């Protein structure tokens, strides 16, 4: 799942706002999408790290 195209963002904003979105509104919407994707990537990485720790052999010192 990749980030949506700018045209898709514009179409969503037009539908939500009922008018042509400003450049600032488009940037804010795109920034929010990026933040959500980064948060999902971080969550996935943390879960995979926890799972790897759980199933990796522990070294004995």
- Spell out the per-residue pLDDT of the chain, length 61, in tens: 577 999 999 999 999 999 999 999 999 999 999 999 999 999 999 999 988 888 877 654 4
23 contact partners, CB below 8 Å, separation of at least 6? none
Is 23 contained in some domain?
Answer: yes
Distance of alpha carbon 48 from alpha carbon 30, whole angstroms: 27
Q: Is residue 61 part of a domain?
A: no
What is the number of domains present in the chain? 1
Phi, psi for residue 44 in degrees, rounded to 5: -60, -45
Residue 21 counted as domain residue: yes
Range of the domain at 4: 1-55
Q: What was the pLDDT predicted at 1?
A: 57
Q: What is the pTM of this model?
A: 0.71
Give a yes or no: residue 51 inside a domain: yes
45 belongs to a structural domain: yes
């Amino acid at each position: 799942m990749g980030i949506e195209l700018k045209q898709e963002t514009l179409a969503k904003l037009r539908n939500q706002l009922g008018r042509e979105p400003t450049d600032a509104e488009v940037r804010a919407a795109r920034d929010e999408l990026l933040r959500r994707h980064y948060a999902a990537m971080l969550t996935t990485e943390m879960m995979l790290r926890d799972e790897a720790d759980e199933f990796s052999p522990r070294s004995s010192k």
